[in-house]
Amino acid sequence: MYIQRRNRILRKNSSVRSLVAETVLTPNDFIVPLFIDEGENIIHEIPSMPKYFRRSIDHTITEVKDLYSLGIKSVLLFIKCKDELKDNTGKEAWNKDGLMQRSIKAIKDAVPEMYVMTDVALDPYSIYGHDGIVKDGEIVNDETVEALVKMSISHATAGADMVAPSDMMDGRIAAIRGALEEENFSNTGIMAYSAKYASCFYGPFRDALDSAPGFGDKKTYQMDYANRIEAVKEALMDEEEGADIVMVKPGLPYLDIVREVKNAVQVPVSVYNISGEYAMIKAAAKMGWVDENKAIIETLTSIKRAGADLIATYFAKDAAKLLQH
């Protein structure tokens, strides 16, 4: 048999495969979401996210040091707000002594090189578990944007390197960028959750922060998963409004969107490999149905291949360790 082109030549052994690999995962690609709780000496495993924890600030610091020593450069902070501090204005979100603000300071004091990003949305602070202010059953856009601006400035004041609005209100990137400029935070970045879909895969995250919507769903602000062109529109608008990084979320079921957005924008694209994606791999691994370590690396490599420059993932620490061998 005569074959002019034998594609298997480049797959012959691991040496040649690594020579021609188009996508190489490194710890520099990762953003680590951290769940932070009030109190001291608290490490609480999230039931629907096995081996993932919500920690008090002291343990968070230990974890951040650990992550940095593994080559991870960035964390994304989420806090669990006490019930008595929740309301319909979200005002605890810009309390200068709030849990988020104290966490930012503590992390920047302990590991100044760690790039600290913060979630900006009202859901952990909302009695309704919605990302914005609720009026007559509606999540009102413009008032919410005003709250998100206050929240962003408060995070920047506490020392956040980058704010990450995950709320999907219209016009918030321009408003936040404008306010950061006015307040002289010219070095504070914005990672916009640009194409964030109304997804059932956020369930475990809402367990972690006790932030499930109290009524209805998030479909009037988060995107319809039937849509693709709309994701490009959102990403281009956020880029235009001043976003430094645009995000697609969730990850795995949306890799077509990742590529589409990557081809359209000129800023880095991040992808959020979300809680439900984490839970699915953990569950299948527990049943013995997939090899967990292989599933982690294959998943993250696929997300990067699709076009992600950065990946927010609960697997970051595991992956950083796996990549060392």
Binding site for ligand PBG (CB under 6 A): 119, 121, 123, 131, 166-167, 202, 205-206, 218, 274-275
CA separation for the pair 322, 319 (Å, rounded): 5
Measured in degrees and rounded to the nearest 5, phi and psi for residue 34 equal: -125, 135
CB of 17 to ligand PBG, least distance (A): 32
CB of 202 to ligand PBG, least distance (A): 4
Q: Which is nearer to ligand PBG, 21 or 166 (CB)?
A: 166
CA separation for the pair 108, 118 (Å, rounded): 12
Question: Would you state the structure tokens that stand for residue 265, as one six-digit string?
Answer: 């924008």
Find, among 107, 104, 51, 100, the residue nearest to 80 by Cα. 100
Answer for the pair 116, 110: CB distance below 8 angstroms, yes or no: no
- Which residues form the catalytic set? 196, 249
CB of 144 to ligand PBG, least distance (A): 12
CA separation for the pair 6, 104 (Å, rounded): 54
Q: Which is nearer to ligand PBG, 53 or 65 (CB)?
A: 53
| CA angle, residues 177, 178, 180, in degrees to nearest 5 | 65
Answer for the pair 120, 131: CB distance below 8 angstroms, yes or no: no
CB of 297 to ligand PBG, least distance (A): 19
Amino acid, single-letter form, for residue 119: D
